[in-house]
Amino acid sequence: MARTLLDKVWDAHVVAEDGGETLLYVDLHLLHEVTSPQAFAGLVAAGRPVRAPARALALFDHNVPTTDQARGIGAVADPEARAQLGRLMENSARHGIERFAMGDPRNGIVHVVAPEQGRTIPGSTLVCGDSHTSTHGAFGALAFGIGTSQIEHVLATQTLRLRKPPAMRVTIDGVAGPFVSAKDLALGVLAAIGVDGAIDHVIEFAGPTVRALSMEGRMTLCNLAIEMGARSGLIAPDDTTFAYLAARLGDISAHVPAWRALASDTDAVFAREAHVSADALAPMVSWGTTPAQVVPVDGRVPDPATHADAAVRRAQERALAYMDLVPGQALAGLPIDRVFIGSCTNSRIEDLRAVAALVDGRRVAPGVRAMVVPGSGLVRRQAENEGIAETLRAAGFDWREPGCSMCVGMNPDRLATGERCASTSNRNFENRQGTGGRTHLMSPASAAAAAVTGRITDVRTL
Ligand SMILES: CC(C)[C@H](C(=O)O)[C@@H](O)C(=O)O
Ligand code: SF4
């Protein structure tokens, strides 16, 4: 029977089946400081050891400040953050789990580090106590974000117990115009299918436009699968994948035939299908408080009064009020206070190159505070070697150390109440970047354009 990519990875990892649930073997378990402490505590309380410490890697990202990391946990002012980071240091040491501690140049955001280290492998299974684990699907790895009790279960058994999700295919074709990046494709899919358009499915992204993306772009796309309601995202591995991995792992030729064979069979059937054409897409900017509340940068925010559905109307009214926008207002030209370039969506070298290319010879607009937070210490180092850091600093950007930073208000990088931010992250929820902060999601190039003009700007006109 014809099988999807999801079927193939799934079938190769089944340990046992029971009443519709499957025990799936987990090849790699990524840990971070926020969701792991209780899981380790539960394990210890149950008197159980970590089953396969060599299949775990611990990283420090959500709570870390993005300055002074060489000082280690001593640099962390917040007591709760310090405690969580300290517990992951203790737990990784106690259970023999490899870690890249704060200040280690290999440390950074979990979803940036594992691919960069060549740990995210086609056809493998990967879990992390973090919703954006879908990012790793860019390599054809089946990657699930899991909760704290599941983390404990994986630590104890190296398996995950779950029902098999159905597969959905999102096909993107057409040629993306200038400055229509992977982020714009993802926001375009979100605008088309909504935040529950893929609910409980695993999305396979397919089609020529997806094939043309770099690995960085594919990771951005799969990162946002979770915002579409999906359990995860997947892209079939191909020559682009193999080149990325060969650069990190050396000779991978023995694996390539099996990895290539992971692609969905041509006659495989998907439970759901969606099509999006890149031809029609412009650079996208979110206006509201869900990632699907997004319009082309040259568009206008909606007028709730035109909606027949009362629930949609109320949700739009609330989002407009929170964002301090009026119905029908043009987005371009809206003044911004802050710019955040970073997060597991857009903090890789290609993202930073796009920003540097735009701001080279320009200046951050007066009154705007703009920060760039590389996704890992190695991205940071590479950007320094390529002269990107110098270009950004010369333009007036704050060049910081790696971490989740202002993607989520769990560390000192936060918006003040009422501040409006052009952000390359993935979530624009109320209060996420700081209490009362107003987030506009967009691509790195669009955020760079906002930084130098001080306004939401159509980067194509710069
Ligand atoms: C802290 C963590 C549990 C959370 C997640 O799972 O997504 C965070 O990474 C986020 O992006 O909101
Ligand atoms: S960068 Fe943001 S979205 Fe990604 S793991 Fe960190 S907090 Fe979550």
| 407 marked as part of a ligand binding site | yes
The residue nearest atom 3 of ligand 1, judged by CA position, is: 130
The residue nearest atom 9 of ligand 1, judged by CA position, is: 130
Task: Give the model's pLDDT for residue 30.
Answer: 99
Q: 111 C-alpha to center of ligand 1: Å?
A: 11
Closest ligand to the CA of 34: 1
Please report the atom of ligand 1 found closest to the CA of residue 404: 9
DSSP characters over 210-275: HHTS-HHHHHHHHHGGGGGT-SEEE----HHHHHHHHHHHS--TTTHHHHHTTSPPTT---SEEEE
Q: Where are the beta strands (DSSP E) in 366-441?
A: 369-372, 398-399, 420-423, 438-441
| 222 marked as part of a ligand binding site | no
Strand, coil or helix: 298:
coil
Please report the atom of ligand 2 found closest to the CA of residue 110: 5
Q: 96 C-alpha to center of ligand 2: Å?
A: 26
Please report the atom of ligand 2 found closest to the CA of residue 408: 7
The residue nearest atom 8 of ligand 1, judged by CA position, is: 130
Task: Give the model's pLDDT for residue 404.
Answer: 98
Identify the bridge partners of residue 234 per DSSP, sorted by sequence position.
Answer: 204
| 128 marked as part of a ligand binding site | no
Closest ligand to the CA of 131: 1
**Number of other CB atoms surrounding residue 131 within 10 Å:** 16
| pTM of the full structure | 0.98
The residue nearest atom 1 of ligand 1, judged by CA position, is: 34
Which among 61, 112, 132 is the best mutation to test ligand 2's pocket, defined by most ligand atoms within 8 Å of the CB? Answer: 132
Closest ligand to the CA of 429: 1
Walk me through the domains of the chain, giving residue ranges and CATH numbers.
1-281 (3.30.499.10), 284-461 (3.30.499.10)
Asked whether the beta carbons of 462 and 453 are under 8 A apart, the reply is yes
- Ligand 2 pocket, residue 344 CB under 6 Å: yes
Asked whether the beta carbons of 363 and 392 are under 8 A apart, the reply is no
- Ligand 2 pocket, residue 62 CB under 6 Å: yes
The set of residues, in sequence order, having a beta carbon less than 8 Å from that of 105 and lying 6+ positions away, is: 376, 377, 378, 380, 381
The residue nearest atom 7 of ligand 1, judged by CA position, is: 131
397: Cα separation from own chain's centroid: 22
Q: 56 C-alpha to center of ligand 1: Å?
A: 19
The tens place of each residue's pLDDT in the chain, 462 residues long, gives 999 999 999 999 999 999 999 999 999 999 999 999 999 999 999 999 999 999 999 999 999 999 999 999 988 999 999 999 999 999 999 999 999 999 999 999 999 999 999 999 999 999 999 999 999 999 999 999 999 999 999 999 999 999 999 999 999 999 999 999 999 999 999 999 999 999 999 999 999 999 999 999 999 999 999 999 999 999 999 999 999 999 999 999 999 999 999 999 999 999 999 999 999 899 999 999 999 999 999 999 999 999 999 999 999 999 999 999 999 999 999 999 999 999 999 999 999 999 999 999 999 999 999 999 999 999 999 999 999 999 999 999 999 999 999 999 999 999 999 999 999 999 999 999 999 999 999 999 999 999 999 999 999 999
Please report the atom of ligand 2 found closest to the CA of residue 130: 5
- Ligand 2 pocket, residue 132 CB under 6 Å: yes
Task: Give the model's pLDDT for residue 205.
Answer: 99
Pocket of ligand 1 (CB under 6 A): 34-35, 62, 130-132, 145, 408
Which among 30, 32, 35, 61 is the best mutation to test ligand 2's pocket, defined by most ligand atoms within 8 Å of the CB? Answer: 61
Q: 130 C-alpha to center of ligand 1: Å?
A: 5
- Ligand 2 pocket, residue 404 CB under 6 Å: yes
Task: Give the model's pLDDT for residue 75.
Answer: 85
- Ligand 2 pocket, residue 184 CB under 6 Å: no
Amino acid identity at 259: W
Q: 128 C-alpha to center of ligand 1: Å?
A: 10
What is the rounded distance in angstroms from the CA atom of residue 135 to the CA atom of residue 144? 9
Find, among 52, 50, 56, the residue nearest to 28 by Cα.
56
ipTM: 0.98
Find, among 377, 343, 372, 344, the residue nearest to 358 by Cα.
372
The residue nearest atom 4 of ligand 2, judged by CA position, is: 344
Task: Give the model's pLDDT for residue 392.
Answer: 98
Which among 31, 111, 427 is the best mutation to test ligand 2's pocket, defined by most ligand atoms within 8 Å of the CB? Answer: 111
Q: 133 C-alpha to center of ligand 2: Å?
A: 10
Q: 272 C-alpha to center of ligand 2: Å?
A: 28
- Ligand 2 pocket, residue 408 CB under 6 Å: yes
Strand, coil or helix: 156:
helix
- Ligand 2 pocket, residue 109 CB under 6 Å: yes
